[in-house]
Structure 1
Amino acid sequence: MPFEDFTLWKYLATIVDILLVWFVIYKLINVIRGTKAVQLLKGIFVILLIRVLSEFFGLQTLSWMMHQVITYGFLAIIIIFQPELRRALEQLGRGKFFTRSSSPDDDDQEKTIEAIAKATDYMAKRRIGALISIERETGMSDYIETGISLNANISSELLINIFIPNTPLHDGAVILQKNNVAAAACYLPLSESPFISKELGTRHRAALGVSEVTDSITVIVSEETGNISLTKNGELHRNLTLDGFKELLSAELLINNKVKQASSTRWNWRGKSNG
């Protein structure tokens, strides 16, 4: 009887151990989601796949090469993933590692859209250059850290004041995170696409660049022409009217938010029904 109790406890401990490991992996994925580490992880997966296939087909030289890469790659992973590991440790220290992030509701999203549209209209009429990037599913912490932290409630007045020429924060991008102005004067990666028109400047290249590596939506106001543009998923929508801009922004933010809320509702319903 004591032996049976010990075996049962061993099984329970194994199950708890597996669940904890999966939970930690899930939280780590949330930390690196949307950063450059995602692409690097895909590369690691490819290397592991090549290693397995080379062993299976008896490709000894290739197998030896992959073995060396994996053996000495641990140190390289620590160096490459240093920003993500630092962020994970910071969140762990602040107690945020085990918290669940919530999506903004439609009312907050509509206020954000109105604030952006009002500020964009004001700056476009006066040819004030602006670059506003809106974080969505993928994280933009790497780029937020390059700017000046604000953590302020979003308003059209604040956005306008940030981009007034010759002010300390006007040069760079503003990043919005969960309907807050997370930071200003941020540096975004420039697109290296050869298909970008030569008449487009640094703001448009930065907007395209960040849309190529994240799912963010970025708004551009041209300083030369006052034209309004928007980038998403590596696509540039140029010379938008104010109504067209608001329609496109609403379609992306509100519809995406409703899809996430519907998915969350289904998950909660299943959880309650199973309980």
Structure 2
Amino acid sequence: MFSWSDINFLNLLRSIVDILVVTYIIYKLIMVIRGTKAVQFSKGIIVIVVVWLLSNVLGLRTLNFITREALSYGLLAIIIIFQPELRRALEQLGRGRFFSREVHEEDQRKQSIEAIVKATSYMAKRRIGALMSIERETGLSEYIETGIPMHAHLSSQLLINIFIPNTPLHDGAVILKGNEITAAACYLPLSESPLISKELGTRHRAAMGVSEVTDSLTVVVSEETGGISLTKNGELYRNLSEERLTELLEKDWLFQVRSTSGLRWNWRGKKNG
């Protein structure tokens, strides 16, 4: 008959620690590849594994052989294809950042906020209209696909250059993710809310629209008044100073790292906010 005394407490503790350590390492690896092409490759590997298991159960020998061979050479393919990602993971491990990624990401977001505020202030003083949407938990890929892919490092100089009038990318929204400018000239959904002031133009309605359907933070610079606004969760904050804009971005984007450790509208040629 089974008895709890048959279980060696030391072996049980060792097994629990083993599982926790492996789980933590897997979690950190997922954080490293998050937002890279390795994510899509991982999904492909999962599909192959599922097909292999099904072919085993159903006795599909040819399909089973093909998927088994694909998995056999998968490790070599991963090393060849994902050299940059593996190198980055090893660099983070060597610098001690592999186990403190949240701190590293927080530093990146601080730099991103500084770049956004600096660019916004520059454009507001010169009344250069701008619309910048920051992706948080809810993906903005639906709207990224409507624009021009950039995948460029976020800097105040590049943001300013994008929104200079009469340049190819100035008309539309820039979508930001982390410390990257993902795409420019994107279309955002236009809000139908009757509560929006009539004096506000299409940029503000687009900013409100995307904030109503996602958890993104969207910064607007009015080319008519030079006023700075921010939208989040369907709310509009107007006439912000540099300090207030920084405060809102830190509260809802920077601190998110610490706490967690539609209609598409072509508004080219329309009145802008």
- Which TM bucket (shorter chain)? 0.5 to 0.7
Using the TM superposition, name which of 102-111 and 135-144 deviates more.
Answer: 102-111
Q: Does 1:95 align with 2:41?
A: yes
Q: Deviations over 1:12-39 (max 9, x none)?
A: xxxxxxxxxxxxxxxxxxxxxxxxxxxx
Which residue identity does 1:225 align to in structure 2?
Answer: T
Query: Which whole-Å CA distance do the structure 2 matches of 1:96 and 1:128 have between them?
Result: 42
Please say if residues 117 and 242 of structure 2, whose CA atoms lie closer than 8 Å, have aligned partners that are also in contact. yes
Q: Per-residue displacement from partner, 1:31-84 (whole Å, max 9, x unpaired)? A: xxxxxxxxxxxxxxxxxxxxxxxxxxxxxxxxxxxxxxxxxxxxxxxxxxxxxx
Give the letter aligned to residue 190 of structure 2.
L
Q: 1-side partners of 2:134 and 2:227: how far apart?
A: 19
Could you list the runs of 4 or more consecutive aligned residues of structure 1 that deviate by over 3 angstroms after TM superposition?
91-94
In the alignment, what sits opposite 2:179?
A: 179
Q: Tell me how far 1:257 sits from its aligned partner.
A: 1.2
Amino acid at match of 1:162: I
AA matched with 1:211: S
Shift of 1:178: 2.6
- 2:89 is aligned to none
Equivalent in the alignment of 2:124: 124
Measured after TM superposition, the shift of residue 141 of structure 1 is: 0.2
Does 1:243 pair with 2:240?
no
Code of the residue aligned with 2:239 in structure 1: it is: N
Q: For residue 135 of structure 2, what is the aligned residue in structure 1?
A: 135
CA-to-aligned-CA distance 1:198-224 (integer Å, 9 cap, x gap): 000000000000000000000000000
User: Mean alpha-carbon deviation: is it higher for 171-180 or for 212-221?
Assistant: 171-180
Deviation of the 1:129 alpha carbon: 0.2
Alignment deviations for residues 100-122 of structure 1 (CA, whole Å, 9 cap, x no partner):
xx877110000000000000000
User: What's the counterpart of residue 253 of structure 2?
Assistant: 253
Equivalent residue of 1:215, what SS?
Answer: coil
Which residue identity does 1:141 align to in structure 2? S
Normalising by structure 2, report the TM-score: 0.59
Q: Secondary structure of 2:136's partner?
A: coil
Q: SS of 2:191's equivalent?
A: coil
Q: Counterparts of 1:213-228 in structure 2 under 5 Å?
A: 213-228=213-228
Instruction: State the alpha-carbon separation in 1 of the partners of residues 226 and 257 from structure 2.
Output: 30
Against the structure 1 CA distance between its residues 105 and 201, is the aligned structure 2 distance closer, same or farther, given a 3 Å change threshold? same
Aligned residues: 169
1:216-269 per-residue CA deviation (whole Å, 9 max, x = no partner) reads 0000000000000000000000001111111111111111111111xxxxxxxx
Distance (Å, rounded) in 2 between the aligned partners of 1:255 and 1:93: 25
Aligned to 1:108: 108
Q: Distance in 2 between matches of 1:110 and 1:92?
A: 26
Unaligned runs of 5+ in 2: 1-36, 47-100, 262-273
Report the counterpart of residue 146 of structure 1 in structure 2: 146
Q: In the alignment, residue 251 of structure 2 is paired with which amino acid?
A: A
Provide the aligned C-alpha RMSD in A: 1.9
Give the conservation status (yes or no) of the 8 Å contact 2:112–2:178: no
Question: Mapping of 1:8-157 within 5 angstroms?
Answer: 94-97=40-43, 105-157=105-157
**CA deviation after TM superposition for structure 1 residue 169, in Å:** 0.0
**How far, CA to CA, are the matches of 2:111 and 2:240 in structure 1?**
20
Shift in alpha-carbon separation, 1:135–1:96, aligned structure 2, 3 A: farther
SS at match of 1:240: coil
Task: Supply the distance in 2 between the matched residues of 1:106 and 1:256 (Cα, whole angstroms).
Answer: 9
Give secondary structure in 2 for the equivalent of 1:219.
Answer: strand
Aligned in 2, Cα 1:110/1:93: closer, same or farther, shift over 3 Å?
closer
Structure 1 residues 113 and 163: CA distance shift in structure 2, 3 A: same
Normalising by structure 1, we get a TM-score of: 0.59
Query: Percent identity of the aligned residues?
Result: 66
Matched with 1:200 is 200
| Amino acid across the alignment from 2:168 | P
Q: Distance in 2 between matches of 1:214 and 1:207?
A: 11
**Residues 108 and 178, structure 2, Cα contact 8 Å, conserved in 1:** no
